[in-house]
Structure 1
Amino acid sequence: TELNKTGKEQAEIVGRRLRKLKFDHIYTSDLSRAKKTAEAINKHHPDTPFALDIRLRERDIGKLGGKSIQDASNLIKEEGTKWDDYGESEEDFKGRVVDFFNDMIVTHLPKNYPGSSSQNKRNSHILLVTHGGVINKLIKGHLIMDLNFSVNNNLNMKHNAKNTSVTKFVVRGAENPNSTADDVTSVVSSNTVENETNDGASEKITLRLKGEVTLWSCVSHLAAQGKRTHDDSQIDDYA
């Protein structure tokens, strides 16, 4: 679906809120609402590389897609099913989100990290524009639950990500060839990450990661629209 009037206003507001920050790359879902929001941000960063990635799409819910919550709930009741019975499985959904995260890490970790394909000499600042389900799956389901990233004590992780809210996480890492698939508290995922070598072959690397979620679902930039606010003092903090 397309952004409505409120959605367009919120996209413009978050674009202005982030205009002074520097991003090395912007990735967005190719679905219209996320893409339009990303474009509203990107116009303040015209020289920043901008890429669409279908792995950042919201979970596919099959024939429930495009229906109102009420209509979808009525159909589920009529068919005696559950939300999870439709479309993409939770396992497949998480799998593609983690796959995107793995590729992003290998691409953008500074080149001094073994296994990185980046030529960056410093840490990259990456902007992801995606959907609430993807954000929840990546942050709560993978970074916190799987990789054991620390969480700012002031965060309220109980609520889900809100429209045009800002969430920040920091990733640090180094290769550990002795890591095993059971070491999911620090490995990118339970699978190794394939990296293409100069001769076109694929080599498998395993990166140990650590990091933290420093800001969760901040919407203080929407205060003028009467939205519930959270402290956003850390949005500008890259330390």
Structure 2
Amino acid sequence: MTTITFVRHGITDHNVEKRAQGHTQNPLNETGRAQAALVAKRLSEEQWDVFISSDLRRARETAEIISAAIGKPVDVFDERLREMDRGKIADTTQEERVARWGENWAELDMGQETHESMRARGVDFVRDIASRYADRKVLVVTHGYFLGQTFKELMKDESTGDELRNTSVTTIIHNGEKSEYLLYDCVKHLSDNF
């Protein structure tokens, strides 16, 4: 049975501005770096067999901060862990989308990745990792919406995976057939200031 601990990246200015991030290479902000340092301290109390991260900058930065604290380099930067591809709306706010494409912009083809595609790649990642690293402890840094949609599909539960917090820790066990939560959206490492 494989144990996989997922960490959502630290907060970015795009998060604060409610700006679609998608595959943009935007960095953590000061608060996001502080959050990453706190989750890194927490994760340094455990031993990890494998460390994998999304290759997008905000996840990479979070992973690099964690890597320094746990004394283990990232083994793989995996594109399957990327956030939902937002197509033409990447790097825009709702107001900017309305101004550019009108009130009904969401009905237009914006070249966004489908939920089905994102869920499929998330589940594929989990099954691949569980098979490849059976009976190991795997640490993964990724993105909130991608993670939430993966959990919905993996757990066959649409009530799960909503609004996962920045640097939250979620641990699942996967036995090849099914997954279950050991810990969900935990931010005990953050003070009340976050």
Normalised TM-score (structure 1): 0.63
User: What number of residue pairs does the alignment pair up?
Assistant: 168
1:138 paired residue number:
150
1:50 maps onto 2:75 in alignment: yes
Equivalences for residues 9-88 of structure 1 within 5 A: 9-47=34-72, 50-75=75-100, 78=102, 80-82=104-106, 85-86=109-110, 87-88=112-113
Task: Mark the runs of 5 or more structure 1 residues left unpaired by the alignment.
Answer: 110-122, 147-155, 174-208, 228-239
Identity %: 34
Rg (Cα) greater in structure: 1
CA distance in 1, matches of 2:178, 2:77: 27
Determine if contact 2:51/2:139 at 8 Å carries over to the other structure.
Answer: yes
CA distance in 1, matches of 2:47, 2:36: 18
Aligned pairs for 1:89-128 (under 5 A) are 89-109=114-134, 123-128=135-140
Offset, 1:44: 2.1
- RMSD, aligned CA: 2.4
User: Secondary structure of the residue that 2:184 maps to in structure 1?
Assistant: strand
Cα deviations across residues 117-145 of structure 1 (Å, max 9, x unaligned)? xxxxxx211111000012101212x2211
Distance 2:62 2:34 in 1: 10
Classify 1:46/1:66 alpha carbon distance in 2 versus 1 (closer, same or farther; 3 Å).
same
Q: Does the CA contact (< 8 Å) of 2:55 and 2:82 recur in 1? A: yes
Instruction: Provide the residue aligned with 1:163 in structure 2.
Output: 166
Q: RCO higher in 1 or 2 (8 Å CA, sep ≥ 6)?
A: 2
Q: 1:47 to 1:163 in 2, by over 3 A?
A: closer
Contact 1:24 1:48 in 2 (8 A): no
2:6 is aligned to: none
SS at match of 1:212: strand
* Aligned 8 A contact 1:28 1:35 in 2: yes
Give the 3 Å change call, closer, same or farther, for CA 127–84 of structure 1 in structure 2: farther
Contact (CA 8 Å) 1:28, 1:56: kept in 2 or not?
yes
> What residue in structure 2 maps to residue 3 of structure 1?
28
The 8 Å contact of residues 52 and 140 in structure 2, kept in 1 or not, is answered as: yes
Distance in structure 2 (CA, Å) of the matches to 1:84 and 1:137: 22
Partners of 1:21 and 1:42 lie apart in 2 by 12
CA contact (8 A) 2:44 2:70 kept: yes
The Cα of 1:169 is off from its aligned counterpart by 0.7
Give the AA of the match of 2:150: L
1:83 to partner: Cα distance: 7.4
Q: Which residue of 1 aligns with 2:19?
A: none
In 1, Cα distance between the equivalents of 2:106 and 2:53? 29
**As a proportion of its length, which structure holds more helix?**
2
User: Which AA in structure 1 matches 2:170?
Assistant: T
Structure 1 158/74 Cα, relative in aligned 2: closer, same or farther at 3 Å? farther
**Residue 219 of structure 1 aligns with which residue?**
187
| Structure 2 counterpart SS, 1:94 | helix
Amino acid paired to 2:167: T
Q: 1:159 to 1:41 in 2, by over 3 A?
A: same
